[in-house]
Amino acid sequence: MTIFKAKEKTDKMVITNIPLDRIYPNPNQPRVIFDEYELVCLAQSIKENGVLQPVTVKEICEGRYELVAGERRVRASRLAGLSEIPAIVTEYTDEESAILSVIENIQRCNLTFFEEAEAMRRLISAGGITQEQLAQRLGRSQSTVANKLRLLKLEEKVRNLIMVYGLNERQARAVLRLPEEEREKAVEEIHRSGLNVNQTDKYIDALLSPDKRKKKLAWTFTEKKLYINSINKTLDTMKKSGVPFESEKNVVNGILTYIIRIPQD
């Protein structure tokens, strides 16, 4: 299959209102997470201004339509209490519809990097296209596409932790360098210590160092300042939250000691 281009139309494109209960989700929709707050805001805007941009659908049988692009608008319109939505009816094939859905979401930056990677994988597998062809259609380099796809080698549990903790794509790729059995613990440590991208790379390098593996040492990351900052940040958060406590910090013979007293009642 060659990567599709939008079909040329000799007739003027017609926008028609379609009942929302006759529009069905696109099974190839790459986006699986929808921000509820953003949907509520969009629904409020639709109540006040209407749907400013029609969705795109294709007719799957008489009177029933499959969504090609615009799922956020459909969901928000339902929240806004609308019964129908303006739509452009197309004649895309399933493969064309899948590619268009991915491209629209990627161009709008609405996908997480894992959703984007999974969408790319499905397109390459089902659409019979190469990484190079997909990269060209998306306006990306082939190496960018390849790096995205490598993220799918992470286990689902590790992926979920990465998203919950708010790690970025570069940190996810760094974790990918580790053996499977070490990845989950590494993600926990990166989050707990508040490591940035450069610190994450150093941490992964330390875990992968030959001496580290030979001695089977536990976590020995040398930047002690990270731990000290973590303690200070915790105490500051407790203070701002009104949690009663007393703390002492002493340095004797090069040893830093914290004493924290918290009333039980």
Q: Are 176 and 150 in contact (CB under 8 A)?
A: yes
Query: What pLDDT sits at residue 20?
Result: 93
Query: What pLDDT sits at residue 250?
Result: 83
Q: Which of 66, 71, 115, 118 does the annotation list as catalytic?
A: 71
20 vs 33 pLDDT, higher one? 20
Give me the sign of the Cα torsion angle 64, 67, 73, 74. Answer: positive
Cβ neighbour number for residue 186 with a 10 Å cutoff:
21
- pTM (2 d.p.): 0.54
Query: What pLDDT sits at residue 244?
Result: 87
- Beta-strand ranges (E) seen in 26-133 are 55-61, 64-69, 84-90
Instruction: Note if 71 is an active site residue.
Output: yes
Q: Domains in the chain and their CATH numbers?
A: 15-149 (3.90.1530.30), 154-215 (no CATH), 224-261 (no CATH)
The average confidence (pLDDT) of the chain is 81
Q: In terms of C-beta distances under 8 Å and separation of at least 24 residues, what long-range contacts does 156-164 make, across chains too?
A: 157/184, 158/183, 158/184, 158/187, 159/114, 161/187, 161/188, 161/191, 162/114, 162/187, 163/112, 163/114
Percent of the chain with pLDDT over 70: 80
Segment 222-232 mean pLDDT: 71
Torsion of CA 82, 87, 92, 98, to 10 degrees: -40
Alpha carbon 133 to its chain centroid, in Å, reads 23
Paired with 250 in beta bridges are: 257
pLDDT, tens only, 89-102: 888 777 677 677 66
Nearest to 106 by CA among 53, 148, 78: 148
